[in-house]
Amino acid sequence: MKFIISLCFIVSTSALCRAASPEHPNIIVIYADDLGYGDVQCYNQERGKIPTPHIDKLASQGMRFTDGHSSSGVCTPSRYTILTGRYPWRTRLQSGIVGVFGAPLIAPERMTIGTLAKQNGYHTAIVGKWHLGWDWPIAAEKKIFFQGAGKKGSNDEAPVPTGEHIAAWRDVFTKPIAGGPTTRGFDSYFGTDVPNWPPYCFIENDRTVGVPSAFLPSGDFGDHRASMQGPALQDWKLEGILPALRDHAVSFIVHAAKTSEPFMLYLPLTTPHTPLAVNEPWKDKSGLNRFADLVMETDAVIGRVLDALDKSGAAPNTLVVFTSDNGCAPYIGVEDLEKMGHYPSGPLRGYKADAWEGGHRVPLIVRWPGHVKPSSTCDQLVHQADLIRTFADILGTKLPDTAGEDSFSLLPLLNGEDKAIRKNAVSVSINGIPAIRSGTWKYIAAPGSGGWGKGGDQSQQVQLYDLATDISETKNLAAAQPERVAQMQALLEQLITEGRSTPGAPQKNDVAAKRFPAKLATPKKAKASK
């Protein structure tokens, strides 16, 4: 016994015996889905009507960033960046998201925050939404059975899968699924890949929990619930997803806190994204609409997770990051919410999918007891790409040139400095339109939102705003400042061609990055009359 204790002391810097310490704190990253900048009360006190007491409490215990950004106005590209510290447009995903049963976006050799943590002796886990693709073992000729419905039931409650459906599903869902979280730096995974898409079941590590054998009832479609029919577990309940993620996250924290190694938990929640499957205690709780109810339920889940961390005794040495993948989706009743006095984007223009600020400026809160001053606010430009280099700095390790190419360390800001850590940042719309920041200036390489948002002067091909005086992006200065527009365009081109925005050896993008603005189509000449 004495020998074991002595050995552990000697090799205390190894993964075998390294417990959480000030140099190796536990790390929890909570990632909300479609939660707008103004959906959190502490970010929108004047025009926010949804109570978020647990997120607000987290902010009171740490640092609240007011100029924090995701890499995109939509899901997959933001998730790619928060895990890798690299802009998503350096990959094959030049616009949109990974489709249903899509292939992995993160390359097998790419370092993630999970890889970094594991290399430094951490136990790593993901609980929640992945949406970064898997190597699904679905033969090309069998794909038709995974995105369609079978015969209608006699009562029209649900389609009935054919024998071919059942056979195809059994063949795939009884096999391991490669290319997922446990191959990208994480020891374990539990969640639903995309909660409003098939397969409608949980996945644990690399296997589905059960074998889907049914279709969803018709009542699970419409009213912002499921979006696409496909294989589901018998009696699958959309309302059960969030509570299951909560319970698994709590269980992980309770058990991990008792071990001898530090832990990292990446908790990408499925809410308040659709399905707006609100559980009974939260229905009509907001007095606004179902989305607002789900925001409140999500806040309560975050409270339960943080409470479990407190009770485990691990909270004093745990760094907690809370943020969202993009802004609020406009289709969940935004106009009605605004009529009732709640503005999901706060003072910002646009919503989910947009290149305007409402698409990608999101809540970002960091709590780290003993390091980050409670109730502090930081107005410096920061980005979700910055997490991986921040964690590397905390762990005292250097990232290779092939990792975190667009990641700058938040550590100076967390330590109380008020000096810019990055001079520029890029976020894109759902259509791949880049919005680039340089200080307080913002350039959008297209007219309009680049996404779902309406408006914008279509007579001007690009947009330029000074966010220091125009946070709501109301005055396009592109025509008045052509030199600055040219500077922003040159900067964007430099960031593309160098393959990185941080100091280091130039890197190659995975594909040739698409350039914007798109050239105006040449009008066809009218045919000469005969």
- 86 and 113 together in one domain: yes
The reply to whether 195 falls in a domain is yes
Q: Give first-to-last CA distance, the chain, whole Å.
A: 102
- 374 and 338 together in one domain: yes
Strand 364-367 to 318-324 pairing = antiparallel
Q: pTM of this prediction?
A: 0.94
Q: Which pLDDT value is given to residue 20?
A: 75
- Residue 24's Cβ-side half-sphere holds a number of Cα atoms within 13 Å equal to 23
Q: Using CA atoms, how far apart are residues 73 and 352, in angstroms rounded to an integer?
A: 5
Q: Using CA atoms, how far apart are residues 523 and 96, in angstroms rounded to an integer?
A: 28
Q: Which pLDDT value is given to residue 455?
A: 85
Q: Which pLDDT value is given to residue 279?
A: 98
Q: Which of 517, 136, 183, 132 is nearest to 325 (CA)?
A: 132
The reply to whether 157 falls in a domain is no
Strand 434-438 to 151-152 pairing = unpaired
Q: Using CA atoms, how far apart are residues 373 and 415, in angstroms rounded to an integer?
A: 8
The residue segments making up the domain with residue 38 are 24-142+171-209+240-356+369-417
The reply to whether 330 falls in a domain is yes
- 337 and 480 together in one domain: no
- 396 and 465 together in one domain: no
The reply to whether 398 falls in a domain is yes
The reply to whether 221 falls in a domain is no
Cβ atoms of 469 and 378 within 8 Å: the answer is no
The reply to whether 510 falls in a domain is no
- 443 and 313 together in one domain: no
The reply to whether 154 falls in a domain is no
- 51 and 127 together in one domain: yes
- 445 and 411 together in one domain: no
Q: Which pLDDT value is given to residue 17?
A: 44
- 411 and 444 together in one domain: no
The reply to whether 225 falls in a domain is no
> What CATH number corresponds to the domain at position 190?
3.40.720.10
Q: Which pLDDT value is given to residue 12?
A: 38
Q: Which pLDDT value is given to residue 8?
A: 40
Q: Which pLDDT value is given to residue 150?
A: 55
Angle between helices 290-312 and 241-256 (to 10 degrees): 10
Q: Using CA atoms, how far apart are residues 168 and 146, in angstroms rounded to an integer?
A: 8
- 200 and 309 together in one domain: yes
Cβ-based neighbours of 276, under 8 Å, separated by 6 or more: 223, 224, 225, 290, 291, 293, 294, 332
Q: Using CA atoms, how far apart are residues 320 and 448, in angstroms rounded to an integer?
A: 36
Q: Which pLDDT value is given to residue 521?
A: 38
Task: Extract the residue ranges of the chain whose pLDDT is less than 70.
Answer: 1-19, 148, 150-156, 519-530
- 289 and 387 together in one domain: yes
Bin 125: left if φ > 0, else alpha if -120 < ψ < 50, else beta: beta
Q: How many domains does the chain have?
A: 2
Cβ neighbour number for residue 193 with a 10 Å cutoff? 28
Q: Give SS3 for 410.
A: coil
Cβ atoms of 405 and 91 within 8 Å: the answer is no
- 401 and 449 together in one domain: no
> What CATH number corresponds to the domain at position 493?
3.30.1120.10
Please, what sign has the CA dihedral across residues 161, 163, 165, 167?
positive
Q: Using CA atoms, how far apart are residues 426 and 71, in angstroms rounded to an integer?
A: 7
- 409 and 434 together in one domain: no
